Chains A and B, each alone.
Chain A
Amino acid sequence: MVYWKAWFDVRGRFFLSLAIVTLLVLPQAIVFASRTLEANRGEPGDATAAQEAPADERRGQDERGMMGWDGFVRAWYDESAGMIFAIMSVVLAVGGTVAESNARSNVLSLSLPVRRSRWLTARASMAILLTFALAAYVAVVLAAVALVFGHSFPMRIAVIGSLLVALSVVAWVGLSLLSTSLTRESVRAALLVVGVIIVLEFLGRSVLEAWSPWQVSRVAAWEGGAPWRSLFVVAVLGLGGAAMAVRRFERADY
């Protein structure tokens, strides 16, 4: 029932995220699919679209130098998914019983025979699970578009990409719990974590690329072996943040 409550609290945000992610992915997928279709028919405009692909996306290009679905899916999960799902995981993770103190309904929750750490565990698990569901939903949308246009779809990459997204957001979920325990309020908690994400994104792109937590969500980063330094950063941010949040929550008075 603690997990059901976590779902109940977050379902509105989840459906909103679902709508947003659809708006982000579906038009891109349809445009890509139609261009690929035109290129396969030998129409001149499509080659341009394929040539515009960044260098590291050419891994999925065919013998004509054109990006296929393999490259498109890989590019989506490697380039866009990290930041989009980081933000969405924060939206899904902030709040919960800790932030209920504003509505003062938290006294009811805390009077139930449940350890405080379980409320946080449920919230964190639900945020990670739902972020995975969003990432997997993207795979389903892309696969459906490919199917409609009669193309084969690289399901393996999409599944791996979704799993890696779920793994990488452990960092943001842990930080979101900590941030909520500091602010006891959802909006400020989310803004605080988004600020941290922006700083880490900047550092990851400039001086600390090998340590960037986004490496964990990139399929390409795993092809030469596990990105241990990034995994370490994700574990420290996620587990450390969650542990501190639990400690603060268990000691708090309401």
Chain B
Amino acid sequence: MDEPSASKTVVEAANLTKYFGTVCAVDHVNWDVDDGTIVGLLGPNGAGKTTLLKILLGIAHPTSGAATVLGLDAERFSVLIREAVGFVPEDKLLYDRMRVDAFLRFYGAFFSSWDARFAEDLLARWSIPSFKTIGQLSKGMRAKLMLAVVLARQPHLLLMDEPTLDLDPASVDEIFSVFVQWVSDGKRAIVLATHRLDEVERICDHVTIMDRGGIVAHGDLDDMRANWKTFKVVGDLPHDEIRQWKEIRRIDAKGKATSIVSDADPLKMTRRLAAFSPTTVEVLDMNLRNIYLAAIGYKRGRLDGVLESMV
């Protein structure tokens, strides 16, 4: 089997689109992931995160556009890609009737880089009994088993869909330390699709936020924190005109108070807003949670209204 070509960019998607019937799951996505990075892939349910990962592995086929993984076309060389890329699916539903030790032998047989000792050590450390069938394991143990076999493959790239969903905090800590160590040589990368913003803030250096199939924010996490600001403005503003500015991520107005989220240079943005002679302009930092909510256009109180109508 040919070795995948060495490449700084390990994932590259160009105009990637996927329709399921009339539903657009992935909408003209342009995306890249570099070696040595841990990318947090965020988005609400149905945003297209899982579909995007499946397209990269050839498990789903794009309607249009293209993706390359480790320099290989995802459609044409999916078998080679799956040899080099580890995948932890969202449903840790393995083969329930298979014994753990048999599963290790089965799974490891597909990979030339399989390190059986590493897998066995991890199982021993996590107290996963090898004589039990997978169906007899708890959800957390299944998740750990999946992570153990994927790590024992020594893949170039790890694509993980909610890997810590069923894990206790101590196990999450341990696994995260493995991940960080794993990418430290700069020759590997991890994409972590999750809803857990705290986990992303802890281990990811890059963030991609998806909503309704499209990427609504993408970049270095520190840069995002530095550039994304909330501008609290009091005064008369031409909201319709400001909405047209391409740097504007979100605008909420209530009377004379306007809240604007932008990822432009804060100084330049302040100057532009000052041109409308507002009473005050206050620039506030944003944490990842606020960036995420602004990026997906979440309106606070939306659910409150629904709940109120039910009372």
Which residues on A are within 8 Å of B, measured CB to CB?
A: 1, 4-5, 8, 103-105, 107-108, 110-115, 251, 253-254
Choice from A1, A105, A112 contacting B82 with Cβ under 8 Å: A112
The A interface, classified by DSSP as helix, strand, loop or mixed, is: loop
Which residues on B are within 8 Å of A, measured CB to CB?
A: 20, 54, 57-61, 79-80, 82-83, 87, 89, 91, 93-98, 102, 106-107, 109-111
B110 A113 Cβ-Cβ under 8 A: yes
Choice from B61, B79, B97 contacting A114 with Cβ under 8 Å: B79
A254 to B61 alpha-carbon distance, docked (Å): 9
Given contacts A104-B91, A108-B93, contact A1 B109 (CB under 8 A): yes
Residues of B within 8 A of A5 (CB): 106
Residues of A within 8 A of B54 (CB): 107, 253-254
A111 B87 Cβ-Cβ under 8 A: yes
A156 to B307 alpha-carbon distance, docked (Å): 78
Residues of B within 8 A of A253 (CB): 20, 54, 59-61
Instruction: Return 12 A-B CB contacts under 8 Å, by A number.
Output: A4-B106, A8-B102, A103-B93, A105-B94, A105-B95, A107-B59, A107-B89, A108-B89, A108-B95, A111-B57, A112-B82, A254-B60
Given contacts A1-B110, A113-B111, A254-B60, contact A108 B82 (CB under 8 A): no
Counting chain B CB atoms within 10 Å of each CB, the highest count among A5, A107, A254 belongs to: A107
A235 to B102 alpha-carbon distance, docked (Å): 37
Residues of B within 8 A of A1 (CB): 106, 109-110
A8 to B93 alpha-carbon distance, docked (Å): 17
Give B153 Cβ to nearest chain A Cβ, in Å: 10
Give B112 Cβ to nearest chain A Cβ, in Å: 10
Residues of B within 8 A of A8 (CB): 95, 97-98, 102
Give A225 Cβ to nearest chain B Cβ, in Å: 44
B93 A113 Cβ-Cβ under 8 A: no
A248 to B106 alpha-carbon distance, docked (Å): 26
New A-B pairs, 20, CB < 8 Å, besides A105-B93, A107-B54, A108-B89: A1-B110, A5-B106, A8-B95, A103-B93, A107-B59, A107-B91, A108-B95, A110-B57, A110-B59, A111-B89, A112-B82, A112-B110, A113-B80, A113-B82, A113-B111, A114-B110, A115-B79, A253-B59, A253-B61, A254-B60
